[in-house]
Amino acid sequence: MSTRGHNRGVGPGRSAEGAEPDYDDDEDDDWGDLGGERDDLTDVPGGVRLQKVLAAAGVGSRRHCEEMIGAGRVEVDGQTVRRFGARVDPEHQIIRVDGKRIPSRQDIVYLAFNKPPKVLTAMSDDRGRKTITDFLGDRAERLFHVGRLDYDTEGLMLLTNDGELAHRLAHPSYEVAKTYLADVPGPVPRDLGRRLATGVELEDGVAVADRFRVLEQAGSRALVEITLHEGRKHIVRRMLAEVGHPVTRLVRTTVGPVKLGGLRPGKTRDLTTKEIGELYAAVGL
């Protein structure tokens, strides 16, 4: 299930009918409150019942979330909570399920975007070029793009208003892997993958590929896949050009655990709760 956002369909924060989540603590959902084991978590005055926060984040139905709490699979600020009716502050407390953090704040948005070519990685441009904003409609949130894609490069970008996550995902010290498909001149020699994995000397230092494979070869054209964890400017294009295979088309297909999949160019989708949790884990949040 996907995360919350402006003008979107079913997902955390919306019921199947499209209504906003009911965060009022009505008293008719206490069926399991007395069945859970006690713990040392201090309830937040005026807080939200934990199972409601989990359900709104897309973890599962209210009843399923209560079962997970009772099984000891949910942590709040590092402490296992077993009471179904524990009251928490989803705006400030960190909640994890099976060790993975969940997106508990209702105002935070996480999107995958398939950037078409000839689109500037920016939210505005004083020269009138098409930017990411042109594909976002009338969204109310102020979103950040995580890293950049070259003007001519296509594919997966992440957009969010979670500033800390965006900063860490873009920072080279966290080494979040990214995978690209590249059209290059063929034929590709058998030892090219080894050369890229050993390291290619560029003007600003050695660049190393984590993985490389040839997907297709036909005459003078080849389609290759390359994965690396750094994000220097034009890094994939420069690496492949340096080894004699300049890129004619480049598409990013993954960022960490998030895959482009069948998302059409110019379209966005909400990240799933699982994807968000894996992104948090990748950068130590």
Q: What are the catalytic residues?
A: 150
Helix (H, G, I), strand (E, B) or coil at 239: helix
* String of DSSP letters for 30-86: -TTTTTSPP-SPPPPTT-EEHHHHHHHTTS--HHHHHHHHHTT-EEETTEE---TT-
Cα(216)–Cα(213) distance, rounded to whole angstroms?
9
Token pair for 177: 């892997």
Question: Strands 258-259 and 268-270: what pairing?
Answer: unpaired
Amino acid, single-letter form, for residue 110 = Y
Cis amide leading into 187 (omega within 30): yes
Contact 69, 75 (CB under 8 A): no
Contact 158, 111 (CB under 8 A): yes
E strands, the chain, where?
48-49, 74-76, 79-80, 87-88, 95-97, 100-101, 110-115, 144-145, 154-160, 178-185, 200-202, 205-207, 211-218, 221-228, 249-255, 258-259, 268-270
Query: 246, 243, 251, 242: which is closest to 185 by C-alpha?
Result: 246
| Per-residue DSSP letter, 2 | B
Cα(234)–Cα(240) distance, rounded to whole angstroms?
10
Q: Could you give the angle at the alpha carbon of 275 between the alpha carbons of 270 and 277, nearest 5°?
A: 120
